């Protein structure tokens, strides 16, 4: 269970550092509380909108 959480956090950090939407989506899909791909996409969209001021790398064409 700990290894799974490490993998989730690793993907989340990778996503934040590089503005990588795919890595962020992968982090959500690894999380056992996210029940579907569609839910992960909705959660990601909401998180990126709510935290946009703190995630400048997600701004710009094709991002966020």
pLDDT at 57: 87
pLDDT at 25: 95
Low-confidence residues of the chain: pLDDT under 70: 59-64
pLDDT at 63: 47
Pick the closest to residue 47 from 17, 3, 18, 16 (CA basis): 16
Sign of the four-CA dihedral 59, 63, 28, 12: negative
Domain ranges of the chain: 2-56
pLDDT at 1: 87
């Amino acid at each position: 269970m700990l290894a799974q959480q490490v993998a989730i956090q690793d993907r989340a950090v990778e996503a934040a550092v590089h503005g990588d939407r795919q890595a962020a989506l992968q982090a959500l899909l690894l999380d056992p509380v996210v029940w579907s791909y569609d839910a992960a996409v909705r959660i990601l969209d909401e998180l990126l909108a709510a935290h946009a001021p703190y995630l400048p790398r997600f701004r710009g064409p094709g991002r966020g």
